[in-house]
Structure 1
Amino acid sequence: MTFQEQLLDNYLLISALLSWFVAQVCKTAIDAYFNKGINWERMTGSGGMPSSHSSTVVALATAAGISYGVDSAIFAVALVFAVVVMYDATGVRRETGKQAVILNRLLLDNPFAWTGKEFEKKLKEYVGHSPLQVLMGAILGLAIAVGMGYVYGYFG
């Protein structure tokens, strides 16, 4: 079996990557709908609906549970990893985004107060997620991992 075949045969990896990709496409489409145009940065950027972070890690944990059982060490590691990532997305990273909004507003209101090179570009405001965005990402990740479970033959 070639390296590429081995990668494509990896249910956990493909579930997680597909879940990330679908979440990013959804996020870009939702952003385009509300902002009346495509912002291609949304395809790789963080923040927004649904959370690609939670989609990815929940798909990984779900696939691990399906593949190895919920009593396995790999599932335990993946689940704890998913919880930490989702907690972080709604906590520290969300607060960082809120602070960026305020700092960008201050910079726009008084651009002459800032002289350093670190303020030549706006700070990223889309870095965290609301609990709803994380929940929707988690549901997407669960659905994709279960769907891929059928593709990989884990279900009848």
Structure 2
Amino acid sequence: MDFITDLLQNQVFVSAALGWLVAQVLKTLIHLILTKQFVAERMVGGGGMPSSHSATVCALATSTGIKYGGGSFEFAITAMLAIIVMYDAMGVRRETGKQGRVLNEMMEVFMNMGKQISVEERLKEFVGHTPLQVLMGAILGTLIAMAVMGV
């Protein structure tokens, strides 16, 4: 039980976890408002506004920087991790989503031609993020970390 208590008192961990949670809730609410449909998968799925990846790693890096200082190796590690994760979310993961969309459209064409393709074979299209989604996640994560750290 000491581990759980220690974890919940760890401001760096709480900042990152809260960054993820708030971003996922916002992402789900924004999707609900825009589409008028509640999709539970948005609570844990990737892609969408704001980026929970960015919110998580920016909250982690910001809280680490506040706690240990900008010159610490802890901050260097978390800042580099944040850069890599955000770059990946906008690059490789975003392209994967685009490819999923194109392949799903091709499967629709094949289905219309009479080919038997199950709906379960559809690829995920919400995978990566636009630069705006990453930026909003980064701002959200930074603000959450500052609030948790009392800055």
TM-score after normalising by structure 1 = 0.91
Q: Report the Cα distance in structure 2 between the residues aligned to 1:128 and 1:149, rounded to whole angstroms.
A: 29
Q: Report the Cα distance in structure 2 between the residues aligned to 1:53 and 1:120, rounded to whole angstroms.
A: 26
Long gaps (5+) in structure 2: none
Tell me the residue number matched to 1:74.
Answer: 74
Cα deviation, residue 9, structure 1: 1.1
Sequence identity of aligned pairs in percent? Answer: 53
Tell me the residue number matched to 1:45.
Answer: 45
Letter in 1 for 2:125: E
Encode CA deviations 1:64-115: one digit per residue, 9 max, x unaligned: 0000001000000000000000000000100000010000000011126867
Letter in 2 for 1:54: S
Cα deviation, residue 121, structure 1: 2.1
Contact 2:104 2:123 in 1 (8 A): yes
Long gaps (5+) in structure 1: none
> Which secondary structure does the structure 1 equivalent of 2:70 belong to?
coil
Letter in 2 for 1:38: F
Cα deviation, residue 3, structure 1: 1.8
Tell me the residue number matched to 2:134.
Answer: 134
> Which secondary structure does the structure 2 equivalent of 1:61 belong to?
helix
Tell me the residue number matched to 2:110.
Answer: 110
TM-score after normalising by structure 2 = 0.94
Q: Report the Cα distance in structure 2 between the residues aligned to 1:2 and 1:55, rounded to whole angstroms.
A: 28
Letter in 2 for 1:10: N
> Which secondary structure does the structure 2 equivalent of 1:62 belong to?
helix
Tell me the residue number matched to 2:22.
Answer: 22
